[in-house]
Every structure is written in structure tokens, then in C-alpha cells.
Structure 1
Amino acid sequence: MGDDIAQVEYTREQRLKYRQKVRRCLDVFERMLAEHAFDVDTPLTGLEIELNLVNSEWAPDMANAVVLEAIADPAFQTELGQYNIELNVPPMPLAGDSFATLETTLRASLDHAESRANESGSEIIMIGILPTLLPEHFEAGWMSHNPRYEALQDAIFAHRREDLELDISGVESLQMYADTIAPESACTSVQLHLQVPPADFAATWNAAQALAGPQLALGANSPFLFGKRLWAETRTELFLQATDTRSPELRNQGVRPPVFFGERWITSIFDLFEENVRYFPALLPETTDEDPEAELAAGRAPRLQELRLHNGTVYRWNRPVYDVVQGRPHLRVENRVLPAGPTVVDVLANAAFYYGAVRMLATDDRPVWTKMSFAAAESNFGSGARLGVDATFYWPGFGEVPWDELMLRHLLPLAHDGLDRWGVDPAVRDRLLGIVEARCKLRRNGSWWQSETVARLEGRGLDRMQALTGMLHRYSDLMHSNEPVHTWELP
């Protein structure tokens, strides 16, 4: 969800004070990287899952306040839209049977939440974009009651000075304007966190960037938006356009958008925070009383709240994170590439592939980013989002290669080795990566199943919205079965 804020409007003086404070925080952070001890004893992973609420007619249910009160679990929090909630999983090590334990815990938490949501008249759906969502659902009362969201919306439109334009062409085309950031709420994702030492951060981030395209093709689960079939993973382009602070003229000048893949391989986490300060205007310029220089001089880890808040409004697909827990600072790569769903076991299979493959790519003697341009990695990302299982990528040693071939011949074996290095139990490793392997061999992911199901239902005479509703009903039943998506039958 991001850090809470206390106000919605800001003066010019507050913005100037914030800019100065952010630069002070950046200077202190640079000193900390050189001098301060970071928490690296037991690298931990974390997980966040964004979820949708629907009513009895399978339309979005603007009821997250009621549902969260019924769930009564601090692990579940609000999200941008009133039909969104988020589940936050406590950090854990990867070794042993942690994935198996996490699967049991996640299913129990979601079953409990589903039961309480049902009592309130809602149902929880874990999917990249809710396919029954339509523009008219945003006519009133769609935004969650949190000052951060209102302030963020005001800041985006203050920078744009005009309505947002959505223009996405894929299998079908969508063109429309929006006078709020409501379309952003359609993007529900899974975020994977990986704690790393400062010396290893750049290699891990570079590896995650290189992996993003194949990762998207593996997990795509967002083919429909506002009744249109667009990209295999429409969520990535929607998120970019629905938060864009730039007018068309600024886009033409090459100004960077807040949703940012990046533009170069890095040598330090400092590169990313320095880019944030140099290139991106403050959207939530709220200043604290912390004196970061004094905190550091006293031997304490400063919160650097202004730098953290600013970083939270630059939506990199692999975001750098600085945090302080129990007085000890640490660094994380937050992987934001994947959509939510389709099932808990699919989410964990995606996570196992990511953690295993990124470990091996980051520790290679001749890492992939020394043999591939950053532009090629960005092109792979776009191809994975647009085409999913039909994507073709550039990869060193393979040239132009179909997604499934790259996965089966190269990346999946790397993921096996990486999970071994993490100390993951072999039985757990084989089960989760076996799901990935079957998905690759059958070329079936959540996006494929959604698209094929809707096409079959339309072939029986249903119109598009009837087919989307029928598909979502089937999706919900299969989601609760926890059988991986590649095994789901078509109607």
C-alpha cells in the first residue's frame, strides 16, 4: 500500500523543504552504503498479494472497509480501489520446506478471509485484472478512504493538467480518457521481496531486470480490460498509462514516466535512488522532523522517510527498498512484475522460479547483463507482456528464441540450481518447478485459459460480458481448488 501520509495538499514552501530534505537523505544514504552495517545475517523473502472483491453478480464490490473489518486481521490492508484489498505475508527464509509451510499458511489466511467476506456479501478473486470491471463502476465512490490515494491522484493531475489517456492496442483496442486514477486500481499484482547485502544489490537487480520478460510470459494473467481483450499481461501497460504524470508533449521530449522499467544496468543501489531524486518530481512532499545526519552520527540507522516516500512513488518493476527493522537497516529488491493468481500454488511456483533463477543469474561469473543490452531486456519485457506464451526473446547464446524453449533449455535448470543454493527441500523444489515446467510444455498460463474460455463461451452464443462473467465464475471455482492453472479444463 505504501507509507501513510497526514495531508492531501502541499504549499510551495513544503515542496521546496521536501526537495532539500530528500537530497540530505540521499547524501546520508550514500555514506551509510560506505560506512554503516546492514542486516545481512539471514536473507529473507517477503510476499504481497493484491486481491479483488466481487458481489453476487460478479461485478466489483466497493466494500473493502466492511470486508476488512470482518476479516479483522492486520495482514490484510486496504488498497487504492474500494474493491481491492492486500495480503501481506511476514518475511521468511527460503531454506527447507518454507514454501510448503507458506502454501498452507496462505491458503488458511485466504480461506478465513473468504469466509468472512462471504458473510459480508463479497467474494475474493485473485486475478491480474478483474475481467468484469467496466468504466461505469468508477462513476462514484470507488476510491478507498486513505489520504495517500487522494493526494496521489491530485499530484498526478496537477502535473498532467489534463485527463489521463488510455490507448492500448493488442488483440483488440481500447481508447478512452479518465478524469481520475481509478483505472490504476484494476492492476492487482504479486510483489516478491528479496533481502540482499549492499554489495550484492546491483547484481541481483540487474538479474531481476533481465528475467522480467520471461517471468511475465510465465505468469501472465490479465488479458481483459473494460470488456476488451488486449495484451497477455495488460496490467503492465495499464499501470504505466493510468499513473502517467506526463502530457503528450513531455512524452515526446523523453521525460521519464513514474512507471519505469529503467534505462541502464546499475553498479550500486545508489544509482537507482539517485535517479529517483534527479529525474522524478515529488508527488507526496511530506517532511518529517528526523535529522538523518544526527541519527547517523549517533550510531543509529535513520529512517530516511523522505527518500523512502519518494521512492514509493516511482513504480519500477524491480524497485529498490531501504528499510529499518528493530533498529537495523536492510536493502531489498521488490519484484513487482507478476499479476495476482490464478491459485496459491501458481503464485508460489512463479515465486520459486524467480528466486531460483535470479540467484543463479546474479552470481554467474559472466553475468547476462554483460552480454545483453539493457534495451534488449526492456524489449523482452514488452514482448512478454504483449504476447505471453507466444513471446520470442533475445537471449545471449540463443539469439531470438521462443519463450518456452528459453525456459526449458536454460532458465528452468538455472532455477533448480538456484533453489538448491537457497537450501530449498528437493521435494518442494520439484513440485513447484514441476508446475512451471508443465506450464511451459503445454504453453498454458492464466491469460491463455481466460482467453480460450471466453472464446469458447462466445462461440456458444454468449455476448462478451456474459462470457466474461461466466469465465470469472469458473475461474473462482478453480482458484479455490488450488489445482495449477495448466490443468484447468476448458468449458
Structure 2
Amino acid sequence: MGRDLARSSFTRRERQQYRGKVHRCLSALSTMLRDGAFAGDSEATTGLEVELNLVDQRLDPAMRNVAVLDGVDSPELQSELGRWNVELNMPPRPLPGEHGRYLEHHLLDMLAEVEKQAETVGARVMTIGILPTITEEHLVAERMSPSTRYTALNEQILNARGEPVRLDIEGVELDGDPAERLQMDFDSIAPEAACTSLQLHLQVPPDAFAAHWNAAQCVAGVQLAVGANSPFLLGRRLWAETRVPLFLQATDVRSVELRNQGVRPRVWFGERWINSIFELFEENVRYFPGLLPVGGDQDPQTELAAGRVPALDELRLHNGTIWRWNRPIYDVADGVPHLRVENRVLPAGPSVVDMVANAMFFYGLLRVLTDRDQPPLWSQLPFAAAEENFKAAAREGMHATLYWPEEGWVSPDELVLRRLLPMAAEGLAQWGVADAVSRRYLEVIEQRCRARCTGAGWQQRTVDALERRGMDRPDAIRGMLERYLDGMGNNAPVHTWPLPKSVRAR
């Protein structure tokens, strides 16, 4: 969620002063990077956040996050944009040994606690990229969480845009079924609340950050292809990972004319490989005006001169309003500054074991791709190809065709089974992950690829089968979600979830 604000409107002078403070923060960051002021790499430290949907007995969004938050009363649980959203923030933990299994158990325990409280207010918990029972009536400002931060974001994005939020997403033709299309205007950023994601963090030392960010960009398309879980929005079957265009459009401050000029969006893949984390923060400051120009009392240069660690509040707040799919993070823990890669590519769900498997696959790949001898992968993969892989995977999921050095054009399942799974296993071994833990989670990825069944594919096949039995789309979606809750509740990998009879192969 980020920290809340005291107010939602700002003066021109405040915006000017905020820009100056952001530049002072950027200069302080440069000094800290030069002087080696950051935590080292003695142990791999990871973090995980997952956004949850609350649903009522009809599996519609349940506007009860405040009651759930009050009942659980845990610092690990926070509100999110929609009144039907909450977010779980797992505490940082090391990666080696059995910690992957501990993460799975902790997630299951926290979900059970949230579910128990949700039941007291007539709700259930669902981990899914986009809740397909959301309707236009839910995506209004009145259904946003009561937070000044969200009110301010809504006002600032709409003011900068100068017109309603336009969703225009053309779906993908699938097995001869024509592509469906969504075109709709909204008077708030509430459609962004339909996106619920899994966010993976990895703390890295400054001199290794660029390699880790570049590697994360390289594998983003593969992550989406094998982890897609968001095929339906407002009754339409659109992309395998509809979160990608939805998030872009729901937070877009650009008018049509600015888009035509090539002005960059705030939901951004990026445009080049980097050599330092500083380049990402510098791009943020150069290209994007402040959305929430809230300045603090601390001067970062004064803090550095006094031998103290600056919070860089303005720079961090600014960074929090630029939604890169792999975001740079500056943070301070126990008085020591550190840097993290925040991977924001994946949707929530389907099950906890699926999410932990996605995380372990990602961490294993990053270790190998950043440790192997030269030349690095990103020297062989054009940045434009990595971005196109990301877009193709979002559109078509497991049915996309991706480009990979030494492989050429290849299907995601073939690429993972032949090249990337052995690399991920090697990387997890280098991290010191226990063999049994590595096998447990990478086998989930392997079998998902062999079955060519992601969460998105399972949702599409199930709805398709129920429609061919005579159900209309809304009833077929509810029937699918009832089955989805069973698989999720059993913590079974999605490739093992049963399908209705007479399902066409996808």
C-alpha cells in the first residue's frame, strides 16, 4: 500500500519544492553508491507480497476489507485500493535451506487466519489475478478503500489525464473462437483495483543490482507465460494475463495526444539494459513528474554530512508512483540501507504452492543468469525482444512464441523444460536451497509445462466447457470460481485441478 498521506491536494509551490527535494535525494543516493554505504551480500534475503480478493457467498466482490483488517490486526496485512482487496506482506527471510517450505507454511497459516476473520463478516478469500465477477458497478470511486493516499492518487491521475480513464483491450482469438473486446470509460482509477499480484523481492548489493535487474527483465516473459492467471475482465475473455493492459490503462496519466508523442507511461517495462540502479532512479526523476508531492523535514545531504543514513522519503514516494514491472527499491532496515529488486510481473494465485513455485523458479534463474561467465544473457537478447516476449506472453500465455538466444523462436513450455528448469535447479543449489525443497517447487513448474496448464488456461477451459453445457457467461464464471476455490483451498497445483468433462484441448 505505501504510507498514507494527510491530504490529497497540493499547491504549485509544493510541487516545485518537491521536485527540488527529489533531486537532492537523487544526489544523496549517488553519493551513497559511490561510498559503498549499503548492506552487503552475506546471505540471500527475499520477501513476498500477495494481494487478495474478498468475495461474498455469490462470489461477488465483498466490500469488507476494513472489517477483516480490524479483526486480524497484524502488521503483515494491509489494505489495498479496492474495498474488496487486502495485501499480505511476508517478513523478509533467507533463501537457503528449508526456508522455501517455511514460506509456504507461513502463507497458508496467514491465509487461514484471514479466511477465518473473513467468514465472520460473510466473506471468503481468493487468490486470483483478476476476480472475474467484478462488474462496472464495483469499479467506482465509492468502492475504493478509505485512504487519503488512494484519494490523492485518484485525483492526481485524473487531473493529469484531463479525461475519463479509458479501457480498450482487444482479446485474443482462441481455438477458432473470435476475439472479444472491452471498451469502457471510468471516472476513477478504481479499475486498477481489479489487478491483484504476487510481488517478489530480492535484496542485492549495489554492484550486483544491474545484473539482477537485467536478468529479471530477460525472464519476465517466461514468468508470465507459465504463470498467467487473469483471462477474464468484466465478463470478457481477453488476454491470458489481462492485468498487464489493465494496469497500464487504469493508471495512465497520458492523453491520446501525449501517447502519440511517445511520452512514457507510468506502468513501464523500460527501454534499455542498465549498468547501475542509479540509472533507473535517474530515469524516474527525469521522465515523470511527482504525483504525490509530499515533502518531509529531513534534508538528505545534511543527514549524510552528519554520518546518518537518509530516509530519501521523497525519492521513495516518487518511485512508488512509477510502476515498473521490475522496480528498484531503496530501503533502510535496522539503520542500514539496502537495495532490492521488486519483481511485479506475476498475478496472485492460483494456489499457495503455485505461488511459491513461481518464486523459487524466479530466484533460481536469477542466481544462474547473474553468476555465469560472460557474455551475460542480456548482451545476446535485444531489449526490444525481451519487451516483446513480455507482451506476447501476456496476450497468449503458454501459447505464445518467445525469442531466446541460441534457441530462436520457441514455445514457453519447450524453453522451460529444455533450458530453464535445469538452470533454475542449478541456481537454487547455488543459493543453498535444500534439494528436497528445490525438487518440490520446480516439479510444479515442470508438470505445469508438461500439461500446458496455467491458471489462465484452466479458467478458460472450465468456462468454455460450462458454456457449452448451456450456461451463460456469468453463470459459467461462477461455476468456474466454485471449482477454483476448491483447488485453491486444497493447496493443489493448478495443473492437477479437475476440468469439466468434454473440455476441448487448449
**Shared fold by TM > 0.5?**
yes
Deviation at 1:140?
6.0
Structure 1 residues 140 and 11: CA distance shift in structure 2, 3 A? closer
Deviation string, structure 1 residues 42-69 (Cα, Å, up to 9, x no partner): 3310000000011111100111001111
2:413 aligned residue: 404
8 A contact 1:360–1:415 mirrored in 2: yes
Residue 382 in structure 1 maps to residue 391 in structure 2: yes
State the one-letter code of the partner of 1:13: R
Runs of 4+ with deviation above 4 angstroms = none
Alignment size in residue pairs: 491
Counterpart of 1:474 in structure 2 is 483
Measured in 2, the distance between the counterparts of 1:430 and 1:224 equals: 32
The structural deviation recorded for 1:116 is: 1.1
User: Counterpart of 2:356 in 1: which secondary structure?
Assistant: helix
Partner of 2:175: none
1:81 aligns with 82
Letter in 2 for 1:32: M
Give the residue type in structure 1 aligned to 2:6. A
Is residue 299 of structure 2 the alignment partner of residue 301 of structure 1? no
Q: Which residues of structure 2 form unaligned runs of 5+? A: 173-179, 501-506
Aligned positions of 1:7-22 closer than 5 A = 7-22=7-22
Could you tell me how far 1:298 is from its partner in structure 2?
A: 1.4
- 2:443 matched to 1:442? no
By how many angstroms is 1:377 displaced? 0.3
Determine if contact 1:70/1:120 at 8 Å carries over to the other structure. Answer: no
**Counterpart in the other structure of 1:127:** 128
SS at match of 2:345: coil
Q: Please name the residue that 1:250 is paired with.
A: 258
- Three-state SS of the structure 2 residue aligned to 1:482 is coil
CA distance in 2, matches of 1:126, 1:451: 17
Aligned ranges 1:33-432 → 2 under 5 Å: 33-40=33-40, 41-139=42-140, 141-171=142-172, 172-365=180-373, 366-432=375-441
> Partner amino acid for 1:312?
G
Counterpart-to-counterpart distance in 2, 1:350 and 1:341: 10
In structure 2, relative to structure 1, the CA distance for the partners of 1:6 and 1:42 (3 Å cut) is farther
- Residue by residue over 1:83-107, the C-alpha shift from the partner in whole angstroms, topping out at 9 and shown as x without a partner, is 0000000000100000111111111
Please tell me whether the aligned partners of residues 199 and 345 of structure 2 are also in contact (alpha carbons under 8 angstroms). Answer: yes
Q: 2:468 aligns with which of 453, 459, 473?
A: 459
Amino acid at match of 2:106: T
Match of 1:338, SS state, is strand
Once the two structures are superposed, what CA deviation does each residue of 1:277-324 show, in whole Å capped at 9, x if it has no partner? 000011000000001111111111100000000000000000000001
Normalised TM-score (structure 2): 0.96
Q: Structure 1 residue 164: deviation in Å?
A: 1.1
Paired residue type of 2:391: G
Q: Which runs of 5+ in 1 are unaligned?
A: none
Distance 1:400 1:249, change over 3 A: same
Q: Secondary structure at the match of 2:296?
A: coil
Aligned partner letter, 1:418: G
Instruction: Quote the Cα distance in structure 2 between the aligned partners of 1:186 and 1:137.
Output: 9
- 1:489 corresponds to 2:490: no
CA–CA distance in structure 1, aligned partners of residues 121 and 227 of structure 2:
31
CA distance in 2, matches of 1:299, 1:399: 52
> Sequence identity of aligned pairs in percent?
59
Q: Cα RMSD between the aligned structures? A: 0.8
One-letter amino acid matched to 1:446: G
Residues 140, 190 of structure 2: 8 Å contact kept: no
Q: Work out whether residues 454 and 471 of structure 1, in 8 Å CA contact, stay in contact via their aligned partners in 2.
A: yes
Separation of aligned partners in 1, 2:336 and 2:240: 41
**Residues 1:140 and 1:205: Cα distance change in structure 2 (over 3 Å):** closer
Contact 1:71 1:117 (8 Å CA) reproduced:
no
Deviation of 1:139 (Å) = 4.4
TM-score (norm 1): 0.99
Q: Once the 2 structures are TM-superposed, how far is the Cα of residue 138 of structure 1 from its aligned partner?
A: 2.8
Is the contact between residue 52 and residue 86 of structure 2 (CA under 8 Å) also seen in structure 1?
A: yes
Distance 1:308 1:360 in 2: 29
| Letter matched to residue 49 of structure 1 | V
Aligned residue type for 2:30: E
Cα distance between partner residues in 2 of 1:140 and 1:315:
21
Query: What SS does the corresponding residue of 2:191 show, helix, strand or coil?
Result: helix
Q: Which amino acid aligns with 1:453?
A: T
